[in-house]
Structure 1
Amino acid sequence: MAPRTYPSMSRREVEGLIADGRMVFILDQYVIKADAWAPFHPGGDKAIRHMIGRDATDEVTALHSAEAREQMNRYRIGRVEGIWSNFIPPIQGGKFRPLAEVGPGDVIDNGPDCPTTSASSSDLGSRPPSPVFDDNVDGLLRKRHAPAGLSSAASISSASSVEPEDGGMSFLNSLTHEKTALDLEKYPSIDETTQANIVSKYRELHQRVKDEDLYRCNYWDYAIEGFRYVLLASTSFLFLRWGWYGTSAAFLGALWHQLVFTAHDAGHMGITHDFHTDSVIGIIIADFLGGLSIGWWKKNHNVHHVVTNAPEHDPDIEHMPFMAVSHRLLQSLRSTYYDHVMEYDAVAKFAIRVQHYSYYVLLCFGRLNLYRLSWAYLILGQGPRRGKAWWHRYLEITGHLFFWTWFGYGVLYKSLPTNWDRFVFFLISHVVPMPVHAQICLSHFAMSTADLGPHESFPQKMLRTTMDIECPAWLDFFHGGLQFQVIHHLFPRIPRHNLRRTQKLVQDFCDEVGIPYALYGFVDGNKKSRGDFG
């Protein structure tokens, strides 16, 4: 059978489809219309919405298996020629004109021999003017030297203490200009040629990763992990029987701390690389043993991976009113993920002034917030109700009932003699996993939250918004692969036991394309993250 041919589509035609409400993006030079399957996407539709109008080839490759990519080919509706110039997606504020609205200077082309774009259908014409990009970008791109001692996160304490007549907006806007200018100086130019070269080198790097078999999972590594889990669980149970309740709780917390890492691997299909197998592994670990929803995590985490450190889009840095990791959160931004305004109100003003003291205290109770988010996801049916993952919700609900039966009833109620013992056991078991939350936060909180525009490549954005933590190999079990966040964000599906081997390849790539590679020790990384709070 002859391969199917697709019509050549112009940028203006793609814009018209988006204006009509279609969810279209570019994948391997083909236009994909995702409307039919977006509601059934196991990772939720928000991640797809952030790719509308963009060349999503690298994001799709990083987050999906070859089989999933092949499925997407069924939804091709056309092809594009040359390097695609990204639109700003509607969810991020992009504005699009229906195809019928053709003004002077617009050219609607139908093939490779015709012009492929027009001045009035550029990305800048699809959004309100930006004081950062439209006024300053040309001059800033000419500067190529990074200033010493750059701190990319805002000093929130100083920002929140400024209360001029305009509510601090002028100061905050100036700070946005400053942070954007510093990033434009520190990182490679976001012009089309430079970013295309980075993408080309990144894809060569990906081929090297595959050639060195770094996607292959060594199951002996997980056998060792399983032995550690059994040892921690048995020790916790033994101390519980002996009446050493605090010690038992500490070992249970350590078990949850370790289990999170394998649930993370399964959520990224990094163990067997089979969707259903890894999903069931993740549900057993996260829901049945930990009381957390892996489905909620996928929906949240996929968005985090495509809009990393964007204050109004990335749920992993949206902790108002208790914490702000960017000065832009002081402007009462609207979260596109949670679909509500993150108010900079009286509570936020107080909490943010003391966040450099309350930071670790809040992290100690991070698991409680995960319970809340998990319950909301399952009870409200926020996951796909049809498609290949339709049954996951019911298995997860079963898992939560199982968790609160063995932990809530079996351990807290039946095995502990007094309410005080129950309180202390609950407190210790939930505080001990705190390093997981600290690990995730420090890998991003101290990095850039600036928006360099729609033309920044996926690999540069990941390297600009993520840091790695340096540690000896024997300590890898404690960090669980999360210390290699840079490598993980570039290649999310690599099994975590292969991340250390991948690090050298990524460092060579960074040297070749001139992107700084952020690497800190665990203590220094925490100092930088907490210090940037002011």
Structure 2
Amino acid sequence: MGPSATAVLDAPYVEALVEDGHAVLVYNKSVLKLDSWLKHHPGGDKAILHFVGRDATDQINAFHSEETKESMLRYQIGVINKNWHNFIPPIQRASDGKNILELGREKKKSERDDESGTSSPSSSVFEPSGLRNRAHGTESPTSSISSFDNKAKHETDTRKNGQKEVSHDAEENIDKTKLEEDEIVSSFRGLVADLESRGFYDCNYWAYLTEAIRISCIGTVMLLLLHFKQYFLSAIALGTFWHQLVFIAHDAGHLGITHSYQIDTLIGLALSSTLGGLSLSWWKKSHNIHHLATNSPSHDPDIQHLPFMAISPSFFSSLYSTYYDRIMLYTPFAERMMGMQQWLYYPLLCLGRFNLYALSWEHLWLDRGPKNRDMWWHRPFEIVGQLVFWYWFGYRIVYLSLPNAWMRFMFVLISHAVTMPLHVQFTLSHFAMATEPGEDAKGENGKDESWARQQLRTTMDVDCPPWMDWFHGGLQFQAIHHLFPRLPRHNLRRTSEVVKVWSKEVGLRYEVYGFVECNGRVLGRLEEVGRQARFLRDAHKSVLESKEWLRGEWE
């Protein structure tokens, strides 16, 4: 029998649950066990898996309404009464696509098959010897980290030879760095409360009326130009129409319009599928991970672009993607592409929309969305929306309205290339920023890093005049948006001024640069990574040609 929902749980007990394969995390001092909710979570199961064993309070607050947060408490199995020290979630330690529940089942099976029936408990950074069995009563489960031997990327010696106590100095150091982050966390939560009380989360619906009128006018101009056989100009107008439409779909996907899940989801699904040919369900599944694991080479799908681009030398190691559940092979082709990536950046982004089509259809065809009974209609709705899109765009416009194959090809190419600035905006705020926790990030691999520090470390904003806000659609304030993802787009500029002051008070760096400088920084990062790729390739080639390794002169 498990503990009551109000029982005080210690860290060793919670860690043992995690290592046994349970999806357990901490929210506002409550310990939540989300095993049964994983496949139903609207944001995807991996959004939860990346926070197993961690305090996810700020992340949950950022993405959920008060009503949703209250409903989460039905999964509460206990509470904690001390500051929580995070540990690395199993999904970030595993090197295959199995989730923690599958790993936990493997662990239990291996224990049943163990002829001796005993095994050495693994170490824990939370406990001295003997506490784990006491936390479990009569049970004595062992940490399944030992069953991850062929999967773990961060295996340590302390997990090989039984339990070892962390030194007193190490515990003091952990507490000290944790305290520093706790001060930032407390200040950030105060900032959120202040923004809410001042109405920053209230949507300006008149601004959306302006957006709707603008987009409708662009669509009308596109049809008029098509009618008068101004095909190239019509293609440009269509690309601009899609460019502007994405901003509203993005807002709806974050519940940043009405803050109602059902209403905003309906708006987003309708606009993205019927008018844009894209799947909002796919986008939300991918985009949520991008927000939660921003700029992590192994976890953030928005920076995983091998074999065409890489923004970190980490990709040279053929990393395992926990999002795509596969190894991102660093092939000879990828190696050659790295040397040219700063020149290919803009041309590749001209083709970015075609990639979104493929990812959308893959998601819908393979039914990769959450298995939530309240969302059963999302997939058929989007499939019908896709058919509507390809009817009016592919059949009525491209096939029936254009005179020949060459014009059809050019119309499609131009209309899609015009959306290139949108893909620049998607990548601009992240590609030049940190991909690994710096020296000021707390804990092993930054596992105790606060939400605010993580987002400001990995995201920069674009400085532009207010009259250009229509062009950027809120994406010029990506850092602000990452801190407050449900904040309505038209309030981001005001919020930016508040965050500038707050970040100085807490000692965090909020980076804002002009549009040209941001592009220069991204190209500089791509060039630097490409230079390192060329250096490694040339060094490898030199070693092979000199045959030093055959003479034992190379180590």
The correspondence for 2:131, drawn from 58, 83, 107, is: 107
- SS of alignment partner, residue 77 of structure 2: strand
What is the RMSD computed on CA atoms of the aligned residues?
2.4
The answer on 1:196 being equivalent to 2:182 is: yes
Q: Deviations over 1:344-397 (max 9, x none)?
A: 111101111100100000011100000000000000000023332121011000
Q: Who wins on radius of gyration, i.e. which is larger?
A: 2
Instruction: Quote the residue 2:474 is aligned against.
Output: 481
Distance of aligned partners of 1:273 and 1:34 in 2 relative to their CA distance in 1, 3 Å threshold: same
Query: What's the offset of the Cα at 1:108?
Result: 3.9
How many Å separate the matches in 1 of 2:228 and 2:202? 43
Q: Which residue of 1 aligns with 2:510?
A: 517
- For residues 5-62 of structure 1, the C-alpha deviation after alignment (integer angstroms, 9 at most, x for no partner) is 5111111111111122110100010111111111011111011100100000000111
Matching residue of 2:233: 247
> Pick from 485, 488, 493: which aligns with 1:492?
485
Asked if 1:438 corresponds to 2:424, the answer is yes
Structure 1 partner of 2:155: 128
The SS at the match of 1:31 is strand
Within 5 A, what are the aligned runs for 1:330-345?
330-345=316-331
Partner of 1:270: 256
Per-residue deviation, 1:101? 5.8
The CA deviation string for residues 57-89 of structure 1, in whole angstroms up to 9 with x for no partner, is 000111111121111111101111121000100
Provide the rounded CA distance (Å) in 2 between the counterparts of 1:311 and 1:102. Answer: 32
Q: 1:480 to 1:292 in 2, by over 3 A?
A: same
Distance 1:489 1:349 in 2: 32
Q: Distance in 1 between matches of 2:121 and 2:344?
A: 55
- 1:376-525 map, 5 Å: 376-451=362-437, 452-525=445-518
Which structure has more RCO (C-alpha within 8 Å, separation ≥ 6)?
Answer: 1
Per the alignment, do residues 77 and 501 of structure 1 end up closer, same or farther by CA in structure 2, a change over 3 Å counting? same
In structure 2, the CA distance between the partners of 1:190 and 1:256, relative to structure 1 (3 Å rule), is: farther
Question: How has the CA–CA distance of structure 1 residues 46 and 530 changed in structure 2, closer, same or farther, with 3 Å as cutoff?
Answer: same
Deviation at 1:404, TM superposition (A): 0.2
Cα distance in 1 for partners of 2:60, 2:361 equals 29
> What amino acid is the match of 1:383?
G
**Paired amino acid for 2:198:** E
The offset of 1:110, in angstroms, is 7.7
Cα deviation, residue 414, structure 1 = 0.7
SS at match of 1:32: strand
Normalised by the size of structure 1, how large is the TM-score? 0.84
Q: How does 1:216-227 map to 2 (within 5 A)?
A: 216-227=202-213
* Structure showing the higher helix proportion among its residues: 2
- Once the two structures are TM-superposed, the CA of residue 127 in structure 1 deviates from its matched residue by 4.6
Instruction: Give the Å deviation of 1:248.
Output: 0.4
Q: Is the 8 A contact 1:459 1:490 kept in 2?
A: yes
Task: Say whether the 8 Å CA contact 1:24–1:52 is kept in structure 2.
Answer: yes
Shift of 1:507: 1.0
Query: For the residues of structure 2 that align with 1:461 and 1:386, how far apart are their CA atoms?
Result: 30
Question: Which residue in 1 is equivalent to 2:45?
Answer: 45
Deviations, residues 130-156 of structure 1 (Å, cap 9, x unaligned): 9xxxxxxx99x99xxxxxxxxxxxxxx
User: Aligned partner of 1:484: which letter?
Assistant: F
Q: Does 1:301 align with 2:287?
A: yes
Query: What residue in structure 1 maps to residue 360 of structure 2?
Result: 374
Aligned with 1:243: secondary structure? coil
1:174 corresponds to which residue? none
SS in 2 for 1:239: helix
Cα-to-partner distance string for 1:205-240 (whole Å, 9 max, x where unaligned): 101110111111010000000000110000000000
Q: CA deviation at 1:314?
A: 0.2
Aligned to 2:436, the other structure's residue is in SS state coil
The answer for the alignment partner of 1:185 in structure 2 is none
Cα separation, partners in 2 of 1:21 and 1:303, compared to 1, 3 Å? same
Q: Specify which of 167, 187, 206 is matched with residue 192 of structure 2.
A: 206
What one-letter code is carried by the residue in structure 2 that aligns with 1:69? Answer: K
Matched to 1:84, the amino acid is W
Letter in 1 for 2:419: P
CA shift digits 1:192-215 (9 cap, x unpaired) = 111000000100110111011111
Asked if 2 retains the 8 angstrom alpha-carbon contact of 1:446 and 1:532, the reply is yes
Structure 2 partner of 1:61: 61
Deviation at 1:418, TM superposition (A): 0.4
SS in 1 for 2:131: coil
The CA distance in 2 between the partners of 1:281 and 1:488, in whole Å, is 20
**Matched letter for residue 400 of structure 1:** Q
Give the letter aligned to residue 331 of structure 2: D
Secondary structure of the residue that 2:36 maps to in structure 1?
Answer: coil
Alignment map for 1:10-89 (pairs within 5 Å): 10-89=10-89
Contact 2:430 2:459 in 1 (8 A): yes
Distance 2:134 2:195 in 1: 38
Give me the whole-angstrom Cα distance separating, in 2, the residues matched to 1:505 and 1:126. 40
CA distance in 2, matches of 1:330, 1:303: 22
Structure 2 unaligned segments of length 5 or more: list them.
95-102, 112-118, 123-127, 136-144, 146-151, 158-168, 438-444, 528-555
SS in 2 for 1:78: strand
In the other structure, the counterpart of 1:167 is: none
Q: How far apart, CA to CA, are the structure 1 residues paired with 2:226 and 2:242?
A: 16
In 1, Cα distance between the equivalents of 2:250 and 2:134?
A: 45
Corresponding residue of 1:148: none
Q: Does 1:292 align with 2:278?
A: yes
> CA contact under 8 A between 1:88 and 1:126: conserved in structure 2?
no
Q: Distance in 2 between matches of 1:321 and 1:64?
A: 35
> Helix, strand or coil: the match of 2:375?
coil
C-alpha separation in 1, matches of 2:176 and 2:209: 45
Q: Where do 1:346-357 residues align within 5 Å?
A: 346-357=332-343
Greater shift after overlay, 221-230 or 86-95? 86-95
TM-score (norm 2): 0.80
Separation in 1 of the partners of 2:93 and 2:408? Answer: 49
2:246 counterpart residue number: 260
In structure 2, distance between residues paired with 1:69 and 1:532 = 39
Secondary structure (helix, strand or coil) at the match of 2:509 reads coil
1:129 Cα deviation from its structure 2 partner:
3.6
Structure 1: gaps spanning 5 or more residues: 112-120, 131-137, 143-188
How many residue pairs end up in the alignment?
465
Distance in 2, Cα, partners of 1:126 & 1:261: 38
Amino acid at match of 1:428: I
